[in-house]
Amino acid sequence: MAVNESLRVLRTIHYDEHHYSLFVSAGTIGPKTKPGHFAMIQAGEGFRPYLRRAFSIADVTKVAGVPALEFVVKIVGVGTAALARFAEGTPLPVLGPLGVPFPIDDLLPSDRVALVAGGIGLAPLVLLARTLAARGIAADLFYGGRNENDVLKRADFERFLGPHRCRYATDDGSLGRRGRVTELFTNALAGGVRYRRVYACGPVAMFRALAELLAEAKLEGSFAMESEMACGFGVCLGCVVPMVDGRFATICKEGPCVSPAQIDWARL
């Protein structure tokens, strides 16, 4: 059950001028959060921006011993810029945890899974990597971005999963292989690796390509989708996406984690 809480800003770490991690006190949201959940945050002051903004709960962690939620944010507009400027101690209205998390309860210690991230799509995969590591489930990370600065929190992923399980791709070749993250993943499949499930978050173009690869390889997937959201809990219908059964599904309530086989990619 989601709660609306006022959570204090504990720390902001700026990676570069476009990306930062925001840590807020965990409140009662922290213990209820599962990998893939998100929160709606009042990102500015007054009416700018008017609506809350959606962010994946990237991690449930501690800051100087205080239980904390981490959000990893890319600045794209007024809300994400305002959130970056809040001073330590500022109370932030946060509604969460929201949505359907990644399916992980059915995984066995003998399973091997893949995590595929594009750009800021790393966010929901951090807590997933931490949780899988704690359960002893082997996970390979395939993470791509435009350049090295786009590929965030590498140290955390390598600590949770092991450096040998983390592979990177960048458009300009500044980190890892030059090219797309889906090419990295295709190479792994060509090497004969068989994944129990593939968890992914990234831009729509990455999702489309990955959905095709998974269908061809008959692999199960769970994609943390994004859509522009006004309410975050199934009321405004602003976030719907077309499904193969002809329906439209609310990404905030029936997602954000959905099976790619259920999405009608041609109509999206």
Ligand X SMILES: Cc1cc2nc3c(=O)[nH]c(=O)nc-3n(C[C@H](O)[C@H](O)[C@H](O)COP(=O)(O)OP(=O)(O)OC[C@H]3O[C@@H](n4cnc5c(N)ncnc54)[C@H](O)[C@@H]3O)c2cc1C
Q: Which of 53, 51, 47, 119 is nearest to 80 (CA)?
A: 53
Q: At what angle do helices 123-134 and 154-161 cross, to 10 degrees?
A: 20
Cβ proximity to ligand FES, 248 vs 265, nearer residue? 248
Q: Where do runs of H (alpha helix) occur along the chain?
A: 29-32, 78-83, 123-134, 154-161, 181-190, 204-217
- Residue ranges in 71-100 that form contacts with ligand X under rule CB under 6 A: 71-74, 76-80
Q: Is 252 in the site for ligand FES (CB under 6 A)?
A: yes
**Alpha carbon of residue 200 to chain centroid:** 8
Number of DSSP helices (H) and strands (E) in the chain, helices first: 6, 16
CB-nearer residue toward ligand X: 71 or 195: 71
In the region spanning residues 188 to 247, those forming contacts with ligand FES, defined by CB under 6 A, are 229-232, 234-239
53 binds, among ligand FES, ligand X, none (CB under 5 to 8 A by kind): ligand X
In the chain, the N- to C-terminal Cα span, in Å, equals 30
How many other C-beta atoms lie within 10 A of the C-beta of residue 75?
Answer: 17
Minimum CB distance to ligand FES smaller for 101 or for 232? 232
Q: What minimum distance in Å lies between the beta carbon of 151 and ligand X? A: 14
The smaller minimum CB distance to ligand X, of residues 70 and 140, is found at: 70
Residue 225 C-beta: closest distance to ligand FES, Å: 11
Burial class from Cβ neighbours inside 10 Å (0-12, 13-18, 19+) for residue 190 reads exposed
Residues 38-67, mask of contacts with ligand X (x by CB under 6 A): x----------x---xxxx-----------
Whether residue 35 contacts residue 128, with contact meaning beta carbons closer than 8 Å, is answered with yes
Q: Which is nearer to ligand FES, 219 or 268 (CB)?
A: 268
The CA–CA distances, whole Å, from 98 to 36, 39, 75 equal 9, 6, 22
21 contact choice in ligand X, ligand FES, none (CB below 5 to 8 Å, kind-dependent): none
Taking CB under 6 A as the binding criterion, the range among 149-157, 177-185, 221-229, 240-248 that sits at the site for ligand X is: 221-229
Q: What is the longest distance spanned by two Cα atoms in the chain?
A: 54
Residues engaged in binding ligand FES (CB under 6 A): 229-232, 234-239, 250, 252
Residues engaged in binding ligand X (CB under 6 A): 38, 49, 53-56, 71-74, 76-80, 120, 123, 226-229, 256
